A = this chain, B = another copy of it.
Amino acid sequence: MFRYIVAASLLTAASAIPAQINHSPLVDPKVAALRDAALNGDQYAWDITEGLTTEVGPRLAGTEAEARARDWAVKKLTEMGFANVRVEPFDMPVWVRGRESAEILAPFPQPVVIAALGNSGSSGPEGVTGEIVAFDSVDALRAAADDLVRGKIVFVDHAMPANQDGSGYGQFGAPRRQGPTIASKKGALAIVVRSIGTDKNRTPHTGAMSFDDGARPIPAGALSNPDADQLLRILKRGQPVRMKLVLESQNLGTRQSGNVIAEVPGRDATLPPILVSGHLDSWDQGTGAIDDASGVAIAAAAAKRIMDAGRPLRTIRIVWFGAEEMGLFGGLAYRAAHGKEPHHALIESDFGADKIWKFDSKLGEARKTEAEAIGKALAPLGIVTGSFTEAEGSDIGPMLSDGHFGVTLNQDGTRYFDLHHTSNDTLDKVDPAQLRQNVAAWTTVVAILSGGIEEPKARKRR
């Protein structure tokens, strides 16, 4: 069967690959043709990205807006012709943003721009007022005497740089992730952190955190970078700085979220599926275009392009995870339900839609040849082959840690953290040409992993 397909594909590929350029014999011409067609003309990913961000907009985990996103997703995936379209629901605790504002009261009265962090405690409508105590890092906060912090509003700074590989989000995200718990345990009134972001816009970066070790929830917000700069300049004048914070967020208790799943059934239903994914929920400030409408769009577009080409040997399973942002609830629910089942590979797109520059895989020593073949097929897209032993992804992370196989197609992250978790995450930030390069790379990977695509009979007869 596989040999037949390759032979047939050599014929169809002849028109896609110009005769003037001799191509690598290591890349299946059918795969190359699928890749190049996606690069030149994919419209599926844009349509999904545009549709979800326009017709649903923001879709915070566990809210009515995320439920509308699931309805939209089921309708869209069904219209696209996928099989077994379904929602796998799960429960989760739901937090929502309320009114929010921050004001420097002294020595130089002026408003500053803030966004509550996910799971922030509420200040109540009257807000909290206190003196700022400032730290250049979470380490400095951790080392501080409780007396220095008690009854004050903690400010934690950092200096996150923009990097192509996005490194730094882990390290420089510590003020957001660890700061609130430490500040609370030391008796702080509230905490404000410099946004975990790399831009200079007055669009603060939200993001989830949690109060651990029994820490009492306190108001916790992020200042935009220009506002953090301003606060630092004011602090450097040496006078006590007083701030008023209003962060009226709410915990709504347990609500339902869900993963939306659809499939391209493989010719051999006994083989483990290839899981292609992104997450459907978004933060509430923007419309979640790069985080992660483009991700779910890329995954589905690649699957759709394979389906258009014929029937893959293995099943391709599309998963649009729910509730990623608030704590990987969708990924953990999928793992609880399906984590023990074998998967041929897990892939997730959750890092925007700028060009993919590096391919990493963790397919095991026995499948090194498969991984190398993928690398060769991706090279013409300007993608370097990276690791053969490491793959990552947000929702799929826990299953990868459990030992599942995986592939990572790394997007260029240079401007990702300019936009990430801000109101600026909107459709205009998605570059259609780079989005097509993403789909081309994904289509290439899925085509090779699929085990071969059998063309529809109608087409064979042509």
B54 and A226 contact, CB distance less than 8 A = no
Interface residue A2 (Cβ < 8 Å from any Cβ of B): no
Distance of A171 Cα from B54 Cα, bound (Å): 30
A43 nearest CB across to chain B (Å): 16
Interface residue A255 (Cβ < 8 Å from any Cβ of B): no
* Tally of this chain's copies: 2
Interface residue A167 (Cβ < 8 Å from any Cβ of B): no
Distance of A113 Cα from B58 Cα, bound (Å): 13
Interface-lining segment among A75-83, A322-330, A425-433 = A425-433
Cross-interface CB contact of A57 among B54, B110, B225, cutoff 8 Å = B110
A201 and B56 contact, CB distance less than 8 A = no
Q: Give the size range of A's interface with the partner.
A: 20 to 34
Interface-lining segment among A33-41, A228-236, A263-271, A405-413 = A228-236
Chain B residues within an 8 Å CB radius of A202: 203, 286, 422-424, 426
Interface residue A308 (Cβ < 8 Å from any Cβ of B): no
Distance of A202 Cα from B65 Cα, bound (Å): 20
Chain B residues within an 8 Å CB radius of A53: 230
A201 and B200 contact, CB distance less than 8 A = no
B111 and A58 contact, CB distance less than 8 A = yes
B108 and A55 contact, CB distance less than 8 A = yes
Distance of A349 Cα from B43 Cα, bound (Å): 48
Cross-interface CB contact of A230 among B54, B113, B429, cutoff 8 Å = B54
Distance of A201 Cα from B233 Cα, bound (Å): 25
A427 and B226 contact, CB distance less than 8 A = yes
Interface residue A50 (Cβ < 8 Å from any Cβ of B): yes
Interface string of A355-381 (1 = CB under 8 A from B): 000000000000000000000000000
B54 and A200 contact, CB distance less than 8 A = no
Interface residue A287 (Cβ < 8 Å from any Cβ of B): yes
For A232, give the chain B residue with the smallest CB separation: B54
Chain B residues within an 8 Å CB radius of A55: 108, 237
A424 and B58 contact, CB distance less than 8 A = no
Chain B residues within an 8 Å CB radius of A203: 201-203
A51 nearest CB across to chain B (Å): 10
B426 and A226 contact, CB distance less than 8 A = yes
- Most chain-B Cβ atoms within 10 A of its Cβ — which of A110, A200, A233, A287? A110
B427 and A54 contact, CB distance less than 8 A = no
A408-461, CB < 8 A from B: 422-424, 426-429
A200 and B429 contact, CB distance less than 8 A = yes
A426 and B230 contact, CB distance less than 8 A = yes
Chain B residues within an 8 Å CB radius of A233: 50, 54, 427
Interface string of A105-139 (1 = CB under 8 A from B): 00011110100000000000000000000000000
- Given the known interface contacts A201-B203, A230-B287, the answer about A57 and B428 at a Cβ–Cβ threshold of 8 Å is no
Distance of A203 Cα from B201 Cα, bound (Å): 9
- Given the known interface contacts A54-B230, A57-B108, the answer about A423 and B200 at a Cβ–Cβ threshold of 8 Å is no
For A229, give the chain B residue with the smallest CB separation: B428
- Given the known interface contacts A202-B286, A203-B201, the answer about A226 and B57 at a Cβ–Cβ threshold of 8 Å is no
A147 nearest CB across to chain B (Å): 29
A164-203, CB < 8 A from B: 200-203
Chain B residues within an 8 Å CB radius of A57: 108-111, 230
Chain B residues within an 8 Å CB radius of A54: 108, 230, 233-234, 237
Distance of A230 Cα from B109 Cα, bound (Å): 35
For A233, give the chain B residue with the smallest CB separation: B54
Distance of A113 Cα from B201 Cα, bound (Å): 15
Distance of A147 Cα from B239 Cα, bound (Å): 59
Distance of A200 Cα from B419 Cα, bound (Å): 11
- Given the known interface contacts A54-B233, A226-B427, A233-B50, the answer about A287 and B110 at a Cβ–Cβ threshold of 8 Å is yes
Across the A-B interface, give the 3 residue pairs with the lowest CB-CB distance, nearest first. Answer: A57-B110, A202-B423, A226-B426
CB<8 Å pairs between A and B, sample of 22: A54-B108, A54-B233, A54-B234, A54-B237, A55-B108, A55-B237, A56-B108, A57-B109, A57-B111, A58-B110, A58-B111, A200-B426, A200-B428, A201-B203, A202-B423, A202-B424, A226-B424, A226-B427, A229-B426, A229-B427, A229-B428, A233-B427
Besides A57-B109, A65-B110, A229-B426, 8 other CB < 8 A contacts? A54-B234, A56-B108, A110-B287, A201-B201, A202-B286, A202-B424, A230-B287, A233-B427
